[in-house]
Every structure is written in structure tokens, then in C-alpha cells.
Amino acid sequence: MPPAKQSDPPTRNQALYLVLCAVVALLSAGLLVYSQTRAMAWDEGFHLLAAQLINAGNKPYLDFCFPQTPLNAYWNAGWMRVFGDSWRMAHALATLLTAGAIMLSADFVFARFRVPGWRLAAALAAASVIGLNVLIVKFGTISQAYGLCLFLIVASFRLSILSAEREGAWWAALVGFLAAAAAGSSLLTASVGPVLLLWILLHNQTGSRLRKFAAFTTGAAVAFVPVLWLVAEAPRQAMFNLVEYQLFYRRVEWEGATQHDLGVLTSWVDSTPALLLGLLAVAGLLFTVQSRTDPRWREQLYLCCWLAVALGLNVSIAHPTFETYFVLMVPFLGILSAVGLFEVSSRLDTHHRPYWTVVILTALLCLGLAKALYERRDDYTWPDLEKVARKVDQVTPPQAPVLADEHIYFLTRRAPPSGMEFSDSQKLNLPADLAASLHIVPRAELAKLIQSRTFNTAQTCSDEDDEHLAILNLPQVYAKKEVIQGCTVFWERK
């Protein structure tokens, strides 16, 4: 299996490419089934409610607290107008975008891998390492921004290579647009744009660097227009949500946030799939450093490495950080892992049987994924919360005020009272005028509203011994309650 010549263009053997497409389609079908059955993250209720509020005529920052960049919420809101405001639709859409990211990553390996006899095997390895990754399955299938961001950053990576290879500046404009759109969906991807721009300028092969720089920045500015528009309309509220909350308020009432971060950053030690991904990626990087046959291929793999490092550093400095955030690194580590698998197979003299190596790798990934999903079998799911929502509707008259989690507002299609759109904001103790302008109701003020019998019904999924729930003292206010799927619904005010 001689390496391809340096001048060889990207190639796709049709028969072998159909095999790759079939495998990616199979992985995508599995992700889609999971998205409609078990997929859920607690924070996505807040994101779905934001999209629903947007369709009702509200604006992030101006009309409700939303400490995120807003493009994913607008993306979900747009599709809700077409298909209805269902979590199933949002999950399916995110899963298709994640599947697109898997396909783009595997296609990159298939088309550009420098050993022809290993192209399909390496592409299958990349698809398996990414598509069977625990983080991809758990968080690439939900309505938060991860699915959209995965697709945007992988697509911008692919286009950045074309931008460096081709004369036209509009390729760079597309790269800037996609990278900025990812940052406009989640600030966790903010480091992608600068890395891609620097790489294009350093490795440009034809055309004007100045024109490509201008095109990149223009495309990025166009993608960020919705964010800038909201900033212009309400600069104080926007700055609080986008900057101040992230820097100063995310860790309020979390005394162990630093220890939590250390636990997250070292959790890969106890995860076999994470270790496997990391070790293969390191092997791929070492192979890239040692390779002297094709500088262009080596530069592209270095770009994968720099993107993974930049994303890893960006999500690591979030305080507190969560394992969820590291899902954004997986496609680039997956590409390096495919190269690493070839390197390991070559050292073990098994590179003449590439598909057996891929089968063994896939089997290990499936076992690790099955174990991880089994361990979270008792976690909340959307069907569980739908039962809670039905109870809330049963005991609450139409238009009556309700105090509930964001998920229940979304499922019951009941507009939350002002300040109840983002429950985490209730832990903030801000001056009254500032809190009112930011649409935040502090917990002490919320307790007064409850004691004055403002809400017809109250719902919570917090434990009964939760100290914050004790401050609200719901059992004193309501005569009836029922526990459903671990959540409590209170009604009939005393």
C-alpha cells in the first residue's frame, strides 16, 4: 500500500464510498432513535423555552434573561414555526446536524488519507470513533447548540482547506460566516474562527491573503448581525447576559465549583472510551510530526490538532466547566484517531488487515457506550416530564399563573411570568432596579410571591430536602400535592 503522491487530488472510489455512506447512515439512525427515546439534558428546557418565547414575539436580553448567544434559539424557533414546538422535532434536527458533522469528518479522511489501501478503513474508524462517542450520543442529540455547532465548526474546517487551496476569496467568506455562526450559537466555539483565519493566511497557496482576510471578516460580521442587533437595542442587558453573567455569576451559590472543575478535567482517566480516543489521537499526532512525505496533508492534520487544543482550552476556562462542553473536540480528535489507528496497526504489523482493526475498535467503542448509557438509565427523559406536564394542565385552569421548571412551561405552552424564564437567575442577588431591567426575580422576592398565593400551581423536580426549596416553603401554601416521576406538583392554595 504505497502512499499517494503529493500531487494527488482528493479522490472517492464510488463503491467504497457507498460503504462509508451506509455505515454513517446506520450510525445516524441509531442516534436518531436515541434522540427520540432517551436523550435529554436538564438545561435544554431553558433553550426550548427561549425558542418558544421568540415565536411568541419576545426577544432575548430585552424581554427575558438569556445568558447565551442567541442563534441556536432562533434556529430552533424558525423550525418550530414549520413543524410545531415539539422537543422531538428539535432533537431530530440536532441529530441530523450531528450526523452531518460525522459524515464531513469521515469524508475528509476518505478523500485525503495518504495510503489508498487504508482510505475506507480509516474513514470507517473516524466515523465510529465520533459517532459512537458517549458525548456525541448524549449531547449531539439534544436541542442545545451542540449539534448545530458540531456541524458548523467541521464544515468551516473543511472549507478553510479549500480556501487555502483555491484563489477565490468567497471560500474564506464562507469560513468566516460558519465559524462566526457557531460562536453566535455558543461562545464555547469562539476560538475556532481565529484559528481558521490564521491557518488560511499562513498556508495560503494561491490568491491574495489580504482579500481572503477581508472576505473572512466580512462573512463573520454578517453571521453576527443578529447578535449585534440585540446588543444595539439593549446594550446593558446584552452585556450582562453575554459577559457579566459568564465572568461573575455562573458560580454563585456553588462553593465547590473549583473542585468540580478539577474533577471534570481529570474524568477522562476513568473513561475507557475517552482514553482510547485520546491515545489514538496522540498516536496520530506523533505520526503526523514524523511524516515527511506530504506537507499539505501534515498541515491539515496540524489544523485538526490546533482546533482541538483551542476548543479544549476554551471550554476548560469556563468556570464551572462540564464534560458536555468537550463534545466539540470530538470530530477533530476522531480524525487524528483514524491516523493513529493506522500508525498503531503499522507498528503491530496488522496494517494489511485494516478492517479487522476497525472491527475491534468498533466493538470496544460499543461496549463503552453501552456501559455509559446503562449507568444513566434512571435519568429524567422527556416522556417522564410529559407526564408531569399533563398533571399541571389537569389541576390548573387556563391562563392561571404557574410556577414551574422551564421544561413544564414549554410542554404546557404556558407563558412563564416575567423573571421565571431562567430559573438559575433566581439565585442572583442584584439591586432591584437592575434585576427588574434584566427580568430577574431573586429567590427572596419569589418566596414573597409564593406566600402571597400568586401562583395557582407550583411544580418542582428538586429534592424535598433541597435548602432552596425549603426557602419557598411550598407545602405551607398548597393543600394538595402529587409526586410524578420524581417531580412534585402542588395545587389548591390554602
pLDDT digits 0-9 by tens, 23-37 = 999 999 999 999 999
Looking at residue 487, its pLDDT comes to 93
Query: What tens digit of pLDDT does each residue of 219-229 get?
Result: 999 999 999 99
Residue whose C-alpha cell reads 455547532 in the numeric block: 149
Strand pairing of 457-460 and 402-403?
parallel
* Residues 31/99, Cβ–Cβ less than 8 Å: yes
Dmax over CA atoms of the chain, in Å, equals 81
Kindly state the cell numbers that stand for 409: 412551561
- How many percent of the chain have pLDDT more than 70? 96
pLDDT at 78 over 70: yes
pTM: 0.95
Looking at residue 114, its pLDDT comes to 84
Looking at residue 11, its pLDDT comes to 66
Residue whose C-alpha cell reads 479544549 in the numeric block: 312
Confidence tier at 467 by pLDDT (50, 70, 90): low
* Residues 280/337, Cβ–Cβ less than 8 Å: yes
pLDDT at 251 over 90: no
pLDDT at 1 over 50: no
Mean pLDDT calculated for residue range 126-133:
97
Query: What tens digit of pLDDT does each residue of 341-362 get?
Result: 998 888 776 656 788 899 999 9
Measured CA to CA in angstroms, residue 350 lies from 102, 109, 279, 346, 357 at distances of 26, 20, 18, 6, 8
Rounded to whole angstroms, how far apart are CA atoms 116 and 114? 6
Rounded to whole angstroms, how far apart are CA atoms 338 and 466? 46
Looking at residue 12, its pLDDT comes to 74
Kindly state the cell numbers that stand for 485: 416521576
More confident residue, 63 or 7: 63
Strand pairing of 487-493 and 457-460?
antiparallel
pLDDT at 444 over 50: yes
Confidence tier at 16 by pLDDT (50, 70, 90): very high
* Residues 315/328, Cβ–Cβ less than 8 Å: yes
Rounded mean pLDDT of the chain?
92
Rounded to whole angstroms, how far apart are CA atoms 413 and 407? 10
pLDDT at 8 over 70: no
Query: What tens digit of pLDDT does each residue of 414-442 get?
Result: 999 999 999 999 999 999 999 999 999 99
Confidence tier at 268 by pLDDT (50, 70, 90): confident
* Residues 485/387, Cβ–Cβ less than 8 Å: yes
Kindly state the cell numbers that stand for 407: 421544561
Rounded to whole angstroms, how far apart are CA atoms 375 and 227? 39
- How many percent of the chain have pLDDT more than 90? 80
Confidence tier at 2 by pLDDT (50, 70, 90): very low
Mean pLDDT calculated for residue range 263-291:
87
Our CA dihedral for 237, 239, 242, 245, rounded to 10 degrees, sits at: -80
More confident residue, 466 or 366: 366
Looking at residue 7, its pLDDT comes to 44
Confidence tier at 260 by pLDDT (50, 70, 90): confident
Looking at residue 464, its pLDDT comes to 62
Looking at residue 88, its pLDDT comes to 97
Sheet arrangement for strand 457-460: 402-403, 457-460, 487-493, 478-484
In 335-426, at which residue ranges do the beta strands (DSSP E only) sit?
402-403
Looking at residue 116, its pLDDT comes to 85
More confident residue, 472 or 6: 472
pLDDT at 469 over 80: no
Mean pLDDT calculated for residue range 237-259:
90
Backbone angles phi, psi at 466, to 5 degrees: -65, 130
Domain assignments of the chain as residue spans, ordered by start: 14-375, 382-493
More confident residue, 395 or 353: 395
* Residues 71/184, Cβ–Cβ less than 8 Å: yes
